[in-house]
Structures are given as structure tokens and as C-alpha cells.
Structure 1
């Protein structure tokens, strides 16, 4: 099983190393000794994280496998923006020096990664992939909702267990540091976990004569991860710049006209770079070569995306499905058609 490129440790500042360094399928067949050696050699883990890594190698495997999902979601949410959640395989972490800055983009990365851990673990529990958990054992007997009574059945996602493990593992380093950046990370980690729980839904199946629904069997299920991503993207838009209070225990708004952040808000400490020009020191990859829309006035428009540097135009050929016809029964046959279209890409800095 390949998680991410071999030898890369995905490292969220000093907080969390997501077990991608030298991780491949062979580890999981090496037994207890093998997992202990591997956990001891992953850089960035604090003692508590190493202990959990040794005790729960299959959980670590699930986390590593689930990384691709939340990274993909992050890139989907920012696909049309200067910062597009781009990753690099040439650094000690997937986001390079970006994570050294307490910006709102980093706030989103922490929140979406924390949410991704909860989502991944809860799903692995429900699917029976882990020995340490299964379906939510508290969803037993009968209950009621707005439609009446129902019996608990099926397999409810055990989100509370996933949140508990995620909180212990992900937050371990921050709880030792307790400086401004650690408080920021802890807050955004929690906001990410809460976002997954926010979209739990009650799903039911009817039983009875001719679908009369005289008896309902229901279970709690997580919504598609896209809903969590959409929610956190909105929280990113309304993120609050903060400063640590005089006691060093929490936040106050950095400016008097800013609202005080709630537990669901994302918080950040520093302004973001403009991400226009490649700057390894700030973690900016720049927008040179990025596709843009000449007709758009939004963030994906060439004027905004290219930061006023202008853009190049190239005519390219694309293959599309065309002349599709329905054939009885039941298929659709299409032709592959070549279409010439103009593509616009941002110029580099002169």
C-alpha cells in the first residue's frame, strides 16, 4: 500500500507527523517489533504519539491512507485561488515552509487535517477494519425523532471514539508547548473535529406491510466529507485574526472591530502573503503557469490569479464526448470529438 511518496514525513509544524516516512505495506506484516522500530524512527512525534503509534499500528495505517482524501478536499476547495493547497514532495513536509506562518491558510490545513483523521477513523471503525473499535455501541434500543419512535439498528458511525483518539494523538505536542501558535493549532484542530460531528445524519429504513413504515430502523451516519470541506471553507472566509489574552490561556480579537471567535471559527495570528510570486521563505509557490479564466472577474480570473502580470494564450486540442445517442436497452453511445480551445496561463515574474 502506497500512502504518499516514500521517505516523506508529513509534518504539521511541531504538532503532528502523519506516519508517511518510510511507510509501506511491509510494516504491517512486521509485527509488534516492526511497528515499534518504525514508530521510534518517525521524526516529529512526541512520546505520547510514539506510544499510541506502537499500540495502534492499524489505526496509524488508516490515518496514513486517509490523508489523500483530505488533501484532495483541500485542493478542491482552493482550486480557483492563488493558494491552491499545493503540496511538495521535496521538503520535510507536504506544505513546506507555509506551516511556519500562523496564517488563515495554515488554520484551514490544521482544521481539515483534524477533520480528516476523525472521518477516516470513524469510517474504518464502521467498516470493521480496526480491532479497537466498531459501530457505536451506545446506539441500542429505541429512541424518537420528529417522525416518531424508531429502533436503533444497522451500524452507527462511532464518531465520538474517533474524536477522542484524534484529540489525544493530534493535540499531544500542542498541549506541551502552550504558546500562541500551539493555542491556535489546538483551536483549529477542535473546529475541524466539531465540523465532522456537525453533519451527522439519522438514516432510517422502513419495515412493514407494503412499505407502511410501521417500524423504522435507524442509525447515525457521517455525511460525505465534501460537506465538512464546504463548511470549513466558509469558516476560512470568516476566520478571525486573534491575539493571546493576558493570561496566555485563550484568545482575544486582534482588532477591536473584530468579533470574538467562537469554538466553531477558524483563528489565525498573522496576515497571509499574497501568493503571487514564488517565495520559499513564506511557502508561496506563486501563480506562474497557473490556468486562469479570461472572462471571470473572480479569484480564478486572469487579472486576479496572475496578479496583474498578464497571461499567455495557447490553443490546445481537447477530446470530448459528442453526438451521444441512447440505444434500447440500455446504453449510451458517444463519439470522441476533438475540440480546439484557448487556454490562458499566468506569466512568470519578469
Structure 2
């Protein structure tokens, strides 16, 4: 390789901004080596990774956070966000699930996690090609307060997430279009849940002037927002028309059958299985052995979670340190408390 030749970052492609940055051949070679070892990437994703390895670190963290949030939100459901492919699938790999509303949530929350993580990394200065969003800086609002501080650059986060995450979908069939729609819905969820934080300035906290900025919400707020969308998810079908060169998704039910779903909707193409029994093809590990609540009637209750098979009751003694006291100086004494407890697991 010519010593004077330089490789370009993804921002330096013609039409992109920040053309003054470049990566040395040694750094580019190291990035390609790093990206070649990341499992589950498509060729296009590897190219993006080699041009922006610092951003892809945030992508990986965001995908893991999305999977973690999915498991938290569905911990009391029959399907608890278990992925069938491998014991510990790569968070950047293609999720293999039947095209159900559970798959819709999985793709949306993973895309949201990537958007959230990349935007957060920009604000912390961990990505060289982005930072804070200063478009409104020093501009006064209609309420009299001034935009300032480090606002989250959500535009960059959405742009990079779309570029990287959507690169997996290349088929153009109903499932790929479903995944792309839900990816976009996840990114929109992050934008929808952004918050405005303010700080007062003045003598003795008089707040004679207030500075505000846009900040990311805790990611569990995004997960909860998407769970509401999950419960209202729409069934769609692939539609082809002579007027359009490419097929598109349209609502299966409704007064206007040709109406397309809103961009904020989660959409799915297949009905959900019961998830009562193990079936790797649908992403179901079954509910055998799952802990349930005997007195609860809804999700998480033994009647629903165990699918009518009944449950086993295990009695045990729980003990812990209690009534602890600190004595000067320097030791602590505690009592040992015990109680009889029960645990219920599905048959």
C-alpha cells in the first residue's frame, strides 16, 4: 500500500459531511481485523464497521441493551425473549423468529437500543465523527428560556442505526419489509421519548434565566413505550401493484384495506404461537419449569403461564441477615432472620 495514501471514514464518502477527517492505513487495517472477528455481521456491515469501528462498539452495546430490555419486559410472559438459534447468540446477528408480534418487538427494541447507545456515545465524546447537537444552541424558546448544554444528537444516532441495522435486510420479501418497518419504529420510539432538561441560573436559585437541552430517556422508558406498541401491533400483508415498482406492506384488517400502517406501528405477518411447548422453529422454549405466581390472574400467574398443565409447589426456608447494628469502632452485629416460603414452577 502506498505510504501517502489514506483511507476515508464513512463520513468522508462524497456527499457526507466532515471531509477533513481521515484514517491512516495502519488504523484502517486494525479496524478491518477487528471487524472481521465480530460474529454475525453481513459484508455491508463489515464495511461500515471498518470505516467507523468506534461507532460499532456502541452498536454492539446497544444491541445487547436492547436484548436485555426485551427480556426484562417479557419476564412474566410465556415468551420471555428467548432466542432459539444458539445458547448465546450474537446481539448483532440476524434474529430467527417466525414473523410474529414478538419478532416485531425484538427488532424494534434492538434497533432502538443501537440508536440510544450511539447517540449516548456521541454525547460522551466516544465517537470521533459526532458530538452534541448544537443546532439550537443560544436560541431562545417562546417560553423565554435558552437552548444550551449538550443536547443529544438523535439525528446522527438514527442515521447511523438505519445505515448499519437495516443493512441486514436485503431480500425484499414480506419478512424483510416487516423487519425494516419495525427497525424504523424502534428508532422513532427513541426520538418520541426524548426529554428536555433545564438548569436555572440566578441569585439564590431565583431562576432569572433558564438553560435547557435535549437528553435521552432511560432505556427502560423506551422499552415500556415499545411494549405498548407491541400490544397494539398491526397485521400486514405484502402488496404488489402495477403503479409501484416495489412491493409494500398494507394493513390486513380495517375499513380501507389498501391503507398502509403508520411508521410508529409495530407490524407482523404471522399469528403468534402459544409458546406453551418447546418449538425452536418459532422461538419457543416452552414454559416447563418457569416460576409463576399462584395468586396472580394475568401474565405471570400460574394459570396463564403454565398453559393449564398445573404447577409444582416447593417449600423452603429463606434466611438473611437482619437487625444489623454498627458499633464504634469498628464492627457490625446482625441477627439471622428466617421465614418459610413457597415457590411455584410450571409442570
**TM-score bracket relative to the smaller structure:** 0.7 to 0.9
Distance change in 2, residues 1:304/1:161 (3 Å)? same
Q: Secondary structure at the match of 1:102?
A: coil
Q: For 1:245, which of 239, 246, 263 is the aligned residue?
A: 239
Q: Matches of 2:281 and 2:138 in 1, distance apart? A: 57
In structure 2, how many angstroms separate the alpha carbons of the residues matched to 1:252 and 1:119?
29
What is aligned with 2:162?
A: 167
Aligned 1:174-253 pairs, distance under 5 A: 174=169, 176-247=170-241, 248-253=246-251
Mapped pair 1:151 → 2:146: yes
> What is the rounded CA distance, in whole Å, between the counterparts of 1:149 and 1:94 in structure 2?
44
The CA RMSD over aligned residues, in Å, is 2.8
Shift of 1:121: 0.6
CA distance in 2, matches of 1:293, 1:96: 34
- Say which SS state the counterpart of residue 143 (structure 1) adopts: coil
Change (3 A) 1:95 1:310: farther
How much does 1:144 deviate? 0.8
Q: Which residue of 1 aligns with 2:290?
A: 290
**Closer, same or farther: CA 81–150 of 1 in aligned 2, 3 Å:** same
Aligned pair partner of 1:254 in 238, 252, 255: 252
Deviation digits for residues 81-113 of structure 1 (CA, Å, limit 9, x no counterpart): 000112465376579997241111110000000
List per-residue Cα deviations over 1:19-70 (Å, max 9, x = no partner): xxxxxxxxxxx94323213434556544432221001111111222233322
CA distance in 1, matches of 2:340, 2:95: 38
Larger displacement relative to structure 2 (34-43 or 69-78):
34-43
Choose from 74, 78, 84 the match for 2:74.
Answer: 78
State the alpha-carbon separation in 1 of the partners of residues 321 and 28 from structure 2.
52
How much has 1:260 moved relative to structure 2?
A: 5.5
1:63 to 48, 59, 62: 59
> What is the distance in 1 between the residues matched to 2:322 and 2:266?
45
Greater radius of gyration (CA):
2
Relative distance call for 1:36 and 1:277 in structure 2 (3 A) is same
Tell me what 2:17 maps to: none
TM-score, normalising length from structure 2? 0.81
What does 1:313-324 correspond to in 2, within 5 Å? 313-320=313-320, 322-323=322-323
Q: 1:87 to 1:318 in 2, by over 3 A?
A: farther
Segments of structure 1 that go 5 or more residues without pairing to the other structure are: 1-29
Asked if structure 2 preserves the Cα contact closer than 8 Å seen for 1:98 and 1:283, the reply is: no
C-alpha spacing 1:95/1:338, structure 2 compared with 1 (3 Å):
farther
Determine if contact 1:98/1:284 at 8 Å carries over to the other structure: no
Aligned residues: 311
- Give the Cα separation in 2 of the matches to 1:121 and 1:111: 16
After superposition, the Cα gap between the structure-2 partners of 1:140 and 1:301, relative to the gap in structure 1 and judged at 3 Å, is same
Q: Any idea what SS the aligned residue of 1:149 has? A: coil
Normalising by structure 1, report the TM-score.
Answer: 0.81
